[in-house]
Amino acid sequence: MSAASVFGQMMSGLTSAMFLFLIASGLSLVFGVMRVINFAHGSFYMLGAYLAWQAVRWFQPAGAAFWAAALVAALGVALLGGIVERLLLRHLYGRDELYQLLLTYALVLILGDVAKFVWGTGQLSVARPPVLAGSVQIFGTTQPAYNLFIMAFGLAIAVFGWLALTKSGAGRLVRAAAYDREMLDALGANVGAIYTGMFVVSSFLAGLSGALVTPIESIVPGMDVLIIVQAFIVVVIGGMGSFWGTFWGSVIYGQVLSFGILIYPAFSLFSVFALMAVILIIRPWGLFGRPLR
Amino acid sequence: MHIRRFAALIAAAALIPAGVMAAEPIKIGFPIPLSGPTATYGMPILQGAQLAAQEINAKGGVLGRKIEILPRDSKANPDTAVRLARELIIKDGVNFLVGTLTSAEAPAVSTVAKENKVVFLVPSAKLVDLTEPSNLHPYIFRVSSNTTIEGQSGAIIMAKWPGIKRVATIAPDYAYGHEDIAAFIAKLKQLRPDIQIVDQEWPKLGESDFTPFITAQMGKKPDAVYCALFAGDFISFVKQATPLGYFKAIHNRLADGGEVGAVDETMPLGAAYPYGIWADAYDPVIWGPGEPPAHKAFERHLRAFTHSKYGSGWSVMGYIPIVALAEAVKKAGSVDEDKVAHALLGLTIDTPIGKRTFHAKTHETEMGEFWGVMVKNPAYPFAVIKNPVYYDPEPQPTTN
């Protein structure tokens, strides 16, 4: 294989990784840090995509339609996430995680039907924003500008998320809440608001990733469940509670897939599961995780 | 006087039960995915069937009885499809079954049809296994094409392309994809032994990110590609491959047998469609000069029925089995399963896309599809098939 091909395959792997990381970042917050099992995260991602498509149609006459649409979609899903958390999920925090799984799975079914009712069963597509429609030649390979943007954006989210969680006061509170809810509550912090806030942020990220994925993927019913298992696995591989873990988990997954299919073409079917098995055998708490308390 | 009135009453009473029986509808159970990624085809197929039922009922039904379609959402899951099929037969008492979309559901429901001796018509699954001698039984019939026909059509078309020496394939990693590619390669080697297969990519079904597969394939520098991706996968694939220069590198020499020439696929992609590739559809919808008049009428009714501007390339596959069943019941003179099954063998029906025959030995229509180059058409905001031509690589002799 020529150096250019290897570079091209590596960049493909990074592209896959960053698209997955965008979706998994929100899940890393809500599942990794807060230990809330939100199976409907994929549904938020799907709604972000549908809302972005809808918003693009509304804003069509205007120039920066895509970016405005992505923001509107993310905010819409964030609002939905806040409502879901306040009205439904918060009653289940102290209890067996199975209840959270059941509730959010019910949400998956409901939101799926809502999407089908509003947008139908057909496939929808959004065009690339004009400013990122071109490609760049790097080392003899063609790199679409949009893919490079997503890579940069994914990295930015990782950095920003890590800084926010570890260096800011709000981040400290969030990690404390995940560690010991009752103690934090007794110390006078508004734990309810912290959880709602985190859920809103996570939903915003889910909606945003759904919107940003529309120029390169088809919007179909069922895109919610197709992605959710991969997102969960990448969070677990990276280590629960670690934003960088999810980032590196995605990167490793992208490279393993990208070069794995060169060796064994049918690899994509089980690649993510094989990777999870291998990592959890070597390091049961994930790459950057710590042994569970 | 009394006796005559009494006789008249008895005569009237004797007629009533016959009247009641005539009013009982012929029930057709219709399990098909109505949610999830495959609903994008399941829904239009159901609508085609409902249109057929409406048209037949407007003319008085079959044997004086109206056709009633009972749709159920199989979610493209074989277990769900089986459960629904059983419920439809036992609880709802359907006379016949039409439906399932995927090659996973169809054989499962075929087993139920065999157990319960219910005639079952398949509108979409292409897996050859469905009617293999070991699985064939009197009550299974297939309307759709099969992977042998599809793969061979692709090979026949590509064999004619000049200057092709290196061919690659990309297909979803499950039974349908493997069968299609195998049939394609076998036929291509037969027609052009000089062509070399340089690469085969197998993304999983429902893959959202094709980028690594695209770059891996481009690295092998093929001259042309045979693609079996369809539905949402094809759309995602195109959106990712185009900016990577994939189509430019192969000069759009790609053929896809997964009905990506149907308006259901070309509409969402719009101007982003890779013009110049060869694609097919059961129903080209926008036909051009060769359009049969029956098709014009069908399209008009379909658009009115579904309140859509352009209809669908898939609805005809729901329309045909209902028409076929109606014809078979009429020919058999009853809804008795064995009589209807026998009536279907060798039955030729008029469809909006041409005459089709259920071949007596295989229980299949051995249907081909309409292929052509995908081009821009100023009248439509999406790609259309240029001069659609019907490809049927192995027309079966009509034996009865």
DSSP A135-185: EEEETTEEEEHHHHHHHHHHHHHHHHHHHHHHHSHHHHHHHHHHH-HHHHH
Asked whether residue A71 carries a pLDDT value surpassing 70, the answer given is yes
d(CA B75, CA B101): 9
Which residues fall within 8 angstroms of residue A186, CB to CB, at 6 or more apart?
Answer: none
Pairwise CB contact (< 8 Å): A268 & B202: yes
Question: Are the beta carbons of B314 and B41 closer than 8 angstroms?
Answer: yes
Torsional sign, CA B64, B68, B69, B70: negative
Torsional sign, CA A81, A82, A83, A89: positive
Tell me which chain B residues have a C-beta less than 8 angstroms from the C-beta of A1. 219
Pairwise CB contact (< 8 Å): A127 & B232: no
Asked whether residue A147 carries a pLDDT value surpassing 60, the answer given is yes
d(CA B209, CA A261): 13
Share of residues in chain A with pLDDT > 70 (%): 97
Rg of chain B over all Cα atoms, to the nearest angstrom? 23
Q: Which residue of B has its CA nearest to A143?
A: B244
Q: Which residue of B has its CA nearest to A254?
A: B212
Structure tokens at B4: 């005559």
Asked whether residue B390 carries a pLDDT value surpassing 70, the answer given is yes
Buried b (16+ CB within 10 A) or exposed e, A99-116: ebeebbeebbeebbeebb
Query: Which of B208, B235, B243 has its CB closest to that of A125?
Result: B235
d(CA A69, CA B201): 35
Instruction: Tell me the domain boundaries of chain A.
Output: 21-220
pLDDT at B400: 36
Give whichever of A26-35, A168-177, B32-41, B382-391 has the largest mean pLDDT: B382-391
Whether B210 contacts chain A with CB within 8 A: no
φ/ψ of B383, rounded to 5, equals -70, 150
B positions 301-340 inside 8 Å of A (CB): none
The beta strands (E) that lie in chain B are given as 26-32, 67-73, 96-98, 120-122, 140-142, 166-170, 196-201, 224-227, 254-256, 278-281, 348-351, 354-357, 369-375, 384-391
Stated pTM of the model: 0.86
pLDDT at A58: 87
Q: In the predicted model, what is the mean pLDDT of residues B150-161?
A: 94
Query: Which of A13, A125, A142 has its CB closest to that of B239?
Result: A125
pLDDT at B182: 96
Which residues fall within 8 angstroms of residue B164, CB to CB, at 6 or more apart?
Answer: B158, B192, B195, B223, B224, B253
* Domains of chain B, first to last: 10-145+295-357 (3.40.50.2300), 148-281+369-391 (3.40.50.2300)
Whether B269 contacts chain A with CB within 8 A: yes
Q: In the predicted model, what is the mean pLDDT of residues A217-224?
A: 88
Q: In the predicted model, what is the mean pLDDT of residues B319-345?
A: 94
Q: In the predicted model, what is the mean pLDDT of residues B384-397?
A: 80
Question: What integer best gives the mean pLDDT of chain A?
Answer: 88
**Number of CB pairs, chain A paired with chain B, less than 8 A apart:** 142
Query: Which of B202, B245, B268 has its CB closest to that of A125?
Result: B268
d(CA B130, CA B148): 12
Pairwise CB contact (< 8 Å): A218 & B203: no
Q: Nearest CA of chain B to the CA of A123: how many Å?
A: 6
Question: Are the beta carbons of B29 and B97 closer than 8 angstroms?
Answer: yes
Q: Which residue of A has its CA nearest to B178?
A: A266
Q: Nearest CA of chain B to the CA of A251: how many Å?
A: 13
Q: Nearest CA of chain A to the CA of B219: how many Å?
A: 6
Pairwise CB contact (< 8 Å): B236 & A127: no
Asked whether residue B398 carries a pLDDT value surpassing 50, the answer given is no
Structure tokens at B69: 């379609």
Pairwise CB contact (< 8 Å): B240 & A216: yes
Pairwise CB contact (< 8 Å): B40 & A221: yes
φ/ψ of A179, rounded to 5, equals -75, -45
pLDDT at B384: 93
Q: In the predicted model, what is the mean pLDDT of residues A91-95?
A: 81
Pairwise CB contact (< 8 Å): A1 & B213: no
Question: What integer best gives the mean pLDDT of chain B?
Answer: 90
Q: Nearest CA of chain B to the CA of A246: how many Å?
A: 18
Interhelix angle A243-263/A271-282, rounded to 10 degrees, is 120
Q: In the predicted model, what is the mean pLDDT of residues B182-197?
A: 95
Q: In the predicted model, what is the mean pLDDT of residues B11-27?
A: 63
pLDDT tens digit sequence for B32-74: 999 887 888 999 999 999 999 999 999 999 999 999 999 999 9
* Least confident piece of the model among A22-26, B26-30, B51-55: A22-26
pLDDT at B395: 60
Q: Is B346 left (phi over 0), alpha (psi -120 to 50) or beta?
A: left
Q: Is A192 left (phi over 0), alpha (psi -120 to 50) or beta?
A: alpha
Whether B173 contacts chain A with CB within 8 A: yes
Interface test with B, best of A220, A228, A264 (most B CBs within 10 A): A220
Using a CB cutoff of 8 Å and minimum separation of 24, what contacts does A50-53 make? A50/A115, A50/A118, A50/A119, A50/A124, A50/A210, A50/A219, A51/A76, A51/A77, A51/A207, A51/A210, A51/A211, A52/A126, A52/A210, A52/A211, A52/A214, A53/A119, A53/A124, A53/A125, A53/A126, A53/A214, A53/A219
* Least confident piece of the model among A192-196, B137-141, B211-215: A192-196
Q: How confident is the model at residue B104 (pLDDT cuts 50, 70, 90)?
A: confident
Torsional sign, CA A253, A259, A262, A263: negative
Query: Which of B40, B208, B243 has its CB closest to that of A144?
Result: B243
pLDDT at B109: 96
d(CA B69, CA B82): 18
Q: Nearest CA of chain B to the CA of A146: how many Å?
A: 9
Question: Are the beta carbons of A80 and A41 closer than 8 angstroms?
Answer: no
pLDDT tens digit sequence for B363-376: 999 899 999 999 99
Query: Which of A147, A213, A261 has its CB closest to that of B213?
Result: A261
pLDDT at B388: 92
Interface test with A, best of B40, B214, B260 (most A CBs within 10 A): B40
Q: Nearest CA of chain A to the CA of B175: how many Å?
A: 12
Structure tokens at B224: 């042309």
Interface test with B, best of A46, A66, A121, A271 (most B CBs within 10 A): A121
Whether B219 contacts chain A with CB within 8 A: yes
pLDDT at A275: 87
pLDDT at B290: 83
φ/ψ of A190, rounded to 5, equals -85, 85
pLDDT tens digit sequence for B294-306: 999 999 999 999 9
What ipTM was assigned to the predicted interfaces of this complex? Answer: 0.83
* Least confident piece of the model among A183-192, B204-213, B230-239: A183-192
Asked whether residue B19 carries a pLDDT value surpassing 60, the answer given is no
